[in-house]
Amino acid sequence: MHEISSPHFVTITNAGFNERLSIEQMSIAGLNYSEFLIQNDFCSGRQLEPSSTCSFEVTFSPSSGGFKEGYVNIFQMILICRWKGYSQRNRVHIRVSKSCRSKWRETVQAGLNYTIKWNAPAKAVKFTIKYSVDNGGRWETVANGVTGTSYDWSVPDPTNNKKQCRVKVIGFNNRDVKVGADTSDAPFTVEVLNLTYPNGGETFTSGDKPIITWESNIPLSTTWSFPIR
């Protein structure tokens, strides 16, 4: 089958009051991801200011008959907008199976560089940056003697996802006396692997053979070793 459905139009709106929404890349995930296609993508690579919008379209091109399902995966956000594609009497259709919703993944990718930013009073002239993987139970020093109000952080490469991470910035005056400190408002995740399908809400019956898909953030230089039993 080579029929292509009419496109389904989707608009993303940044409903935040002050925060810019970064949309780095979008992809189709789900059981039948290869049979859905993003086109006319005006969202990937965009920085949406509050109240700004962008749009894209999704089409369905089945390789066989029956119902198919896919959804859009956006870095740092999963847009739960499940499309049902189906063919009937030589016609191909696409529709949203449920109302769309989004959920944020407050996540940074292992092994990449991220910029930590903060505000500080004039008397704070240098800073120490610390990092915790257990919600502040223990802290490891990232850097000492940092000047300015930002730091390019090389995110660690843990052996598994860490979901209770925080960053702390401590300010010192020119006499090395601590003048203040601040910590991440909420925990974030350092992600090594992200399971994209199944990721919750799917239903299978005996005999189904779903394709399990995931995203890997493991740096190419990382070496993994496993015991042979």
DSSP codes joined into one string, 156-222: ---SS-EEEEEEEEEEE-TTS-EEEEEE-SS-EEEESEEEEES-SS----TT--PPPEEEE---TT-
Confidence of residue 177 (pLDDT cuts 50, 70, 90): very high
Domain check: are 67 and 118 in the same one?
A: no
Q: Residue 200: what pLDDT?
A: 67
The domain that holds 161 is classified in CATH as 2.60.40.10
Q: Would residue 64 count as lying in a domain?
A: yes
Mean pLDDT of 97-103: 47
Structural domains counted in the chain: 2
Q: Would residue 101 count as lying in a domain?
A: yes
Return the closest-CA partner of residue 3 out of 71, 70, 94: 94
Domain check: are 31 and 45 in the same one?
A: yes
User: Residue 115: phi, psi to the nearest 5?
Assistant: -95, 120
Domain check: are 71 and 129 in the same one?
A: no
Domain check: are 177 and 120 in the same one?
A: yes
pLDDT surpassing 80 at residue 148: yes
The range of the structural domain enclosing residue 148 comes to 108-191
Q: Residue 62: what pLDDT?
A: 78
Mean pLDDT of 146-151: 93
